[in-house]
Amino acid sequence: MSDFDTLGLKPVLLAALQDAGLTTPTPIQAQAVPLALAGHDVLGLAQTGTGKTMAFGLPLVSHLLDSSERPAARTAKSLILAPTRELVNQIAESLRTLTKKTQLKVNVVVGGQSINKQIHQLLKGTDILVATPGRLIDLMDRKAVDLRTVKHLVLDEADQMLDMGFIHALRRIAPKLGTPRQTMLFSATMPKQMEDLSRAYLTNPKKVQVAPPGKAADKITQSVHHLADKSAKQAKLREILSQDMDALTLVFSRTKHGAEKLMKGLVADGYNAASIHGNKSQGQRDRAIKAFRDGTITVLVATDVAARGIDIPGVAYVVNYDLPEVPDNYVHRIGRTARAGREGEAIAFCAPDEADLLRQIEKLMKIEVPVASGTAPKDPVPRKAQSRGRARGHGGGQNGGQGTKAKPGGNRRRRSRARKAA
């Protein structure tokens, strides 16, 4: 007997969940699945790592199984849009676990791969098309796919699609879809533009919210180190990594150049590290993520865009080597740890010129990030004046609101606990 039995799912889906070792729905799944099964449009607000893919995947597959009609050539019956190639691939992988004992076909279209191969795959028709907006428009322009038969639309990580400038792509894609249709939109944050998007694409949606937007997962322990300069950051990172060389640690850099340089320095110092960023080919990014998931490498240095959608349950640590220019990105970054109920730690480095970025993050999350070392500058250098040029070129756990200092040595103890949980 599985707790998923109470959601009204078909036996073939319950069997697939059991085969995958999934027995208990997450809060977002428990709330969203029945609403979506009933045919409602759904607006889901939840952090990454809370089971959003199954929250829309289960009802989507269930609806498709209700129809015995096969998709016509070059058509799709449902469409899932996500901002990055990595996220698209992970969504497709999860959906294939649900559809492996059915005749439903899942196809993926993303940039960085052969468009001719994707055109050939679409020839026979698709039940579930998972795509990045840019490549989908390329295929639409080539008449390789007809979206008029799409009756189910999912926008995953919708806030990130807006941040990455995909709103214009969405405006081109949406009018080509079938009507009436069911639309599900999932996001970790709810900025003003997201509200506009919801009104434009959803009809009388049912809102599902498992945590306030901007709140981190409960099992993420956060801390910040106030450091004088880049040299101090480098030393602190190596100190943290050396405490447990086996822990999977995701390190965020603000720029592509910075990520690559940081990775090469770590490798030179004997750490098993790799990097993913916009200057890497899709094959290089896929291999790095696979090696990180397998534990072949234990440190992955990434930019925000490249790390979108990474779902690796064993990540014990997220290190914000550079604080993000956009506060919402901090929430997305630290959501890469403490996934699926595990514990994890998010560590931030804050240089004097990043103090204002930290304040913006704390304002968004309505907390004070506990200080692990150092002291915030009383008169920080205004970042806007200092980093205007750099900002243009960048590549791509709640603590109960208490502003207490972290205990010395706490990283090591929490590190061990997080590794065991993973």
For residue 74, the model assigns a pLDDT of: 97
Q: Which run of H or E residues covers position 323?
A: none
**Same topology for domains 3-209 and 220-421, yes or no?**
yes
State in words which class domain 3-209 has. Answer: alpha beta
What DSSP character marks residue 7? Answer: G
- Taking only the tens place, the pLDDT of each residue in 348-372 is 999 999 999 999 999 988 899 999 9
Q: pLDDT by residue (tens digit) across 306-325?
A: 666 677 878 999 999 999 99
Window from 40-44, 360-364, 384-388 with minimum mean pLDDT: 384-388
Helix (H) or strand (E) holding 78: strand 76-81
* Tens of pLDDT, residues 178-196: 999 999 999 877 777 888 8
Average pLDDT over residues 25-31: 92
CA distance linking residue 187 with residue 159, whole number of Å: 6
pLDDT confidence band for 115 (50 / 70 / 90): very high
- Residue 339 pLDDT > 80: no
> What average pLDDT does range 328-342 have in this prediction?
78
Domain 220-421 class, CATH top level = alpha beta
pLDDT one-digit tens code per residue, 142-172: 999 999 999 999 999 898 888 788 989 999 9
For the cut 90, the answer to whether the pLDDT of residue 215 exceeds it is no
Domain locations in the chain as residue ranges: 3-209, 220-421
Q: What's residue 416's pLDDT?
A: 40
- pLDDT of 389 higher than 50: no
H/E element, 250: strand 248-252
Percentage above 70 pLDDT, the chain: 85
pLDDT of res. 47: 73
Q: Which two tokens stand for residue 5?
A: 């039995």
What is 334-403 written as a DSSP string? HTTSSGGG--EEEEEEE-GGGHHHHHHHHHHHTS-PPEEES---SSPPPHHHHHHHHHHT------TT--
